[in-house]
Structure 1
C-alpha cells in the first residue's frame, strides 16, 4: 500500500518538477541581457535569493530525491516473482489436467505425431564423402 502511494507521489512530483523547470525564466533571459546589460546580476540574480518559482523547484527537487531513495530502499530487499519462462524443460503438455466429474468434457482422439505426416526416406547416395 505504501509502495503504490509513493509511486503515485513520485509521478506527481516528477511532473510538477518538469513543469516548474520549464516555466522558469533564466537569469539572462531578459531583453537587456542580449545587449550586454546582463552583467549586473549578482550571485543570486537581481531578484534576490529566490522567488516563489525557484523555491518551489528546490522543494520539489528535494522531494523527488527523497522519494527516489525511499522507493529504492523499499525495493532493494524484495524477491522477484518467479518467471514462467525460466523452466522450459517441462513441456506444458505433460502437466496433469484436472477436470471435475460433474462437467461433461468431450473426448477427442488426437492424432499421434506421424500418422498424417508422410515419411521421407533418406537418400545417402547423393552425399559426398
Structure 2
C-alpha cells in the first residue's frame, strides 16, 4: 500500500510541475489583450486558465492527501521499530565447557 501511495505521489508531483509550467503568468494577460490570438484556443479566451487552475488545485489537494498518507505510514514504521512490542532481550552468552580437573579429555595424553 505504501509503495502504491508513493508512486501516485510522484506521478502527482510530476503532473503538477508540468501544469504549473504550462500556465501563463499574470504578465502574459497584457500581451494577449493586444491581439495575441487567445480567443482561438481550444478552451476559449479565458477557458484554459480556469480549466488549468482547477486541475492544478485538484492535483494539489491529491498531493496533500498522499503526503499526509506517507507521513502516517512513516510514523507507523517508526513507532513499530522503536516500540516496546519489538524489544527483545539479548540471549545470554554460553560459557565454553571446561573439562573437570579430575577427568582427562580424550585428546590429552596420559
Pick the TM interval, shorter chain.
Answer: 0.5 to 0.7
CA distance in 1, matches of 2:62, 2:68: 10
Unaligned runs of 5+ in 2: 35-44, 82-110
Q: Which residue of structure 1 lines up, in the alignment, with residue 77 of structure 2?
A: 78
> Equivalences for 1:46-65 in 2 at 5 Å?
47=46, 51-65=50-64
Q: Which residue of structure 2 lines up, in the alignment, with residue 17 of structure 1?
A: 16
Runs of 4 or more consecutive aligned structure 1 residues displaced over 4 Å after TM superposition = none
Normalized per residue, the structure richer in helix is: 2
Unaligned runs of 5+ in 1: 36-45, 81-129
- Residue 31 of structure 1: how far off its partner (Å): 4.5
- Residue 52 of structure 1: how far off its partner (Å): 1.1
Aligned residues: 68
- Residue 63 of structure 1: how far off its partner (Å): 0.6
Larger relative CO (CA 8 A, sep 6+): 1 or 2? 2
- Residue 72 of structure 1: how far off its partner (Å): 0.1
CA distance in 1, matches of 2:31, 2:17: 27
Q: Normalised by the size of structure 1, how large is the TM-score?
A: 0.46
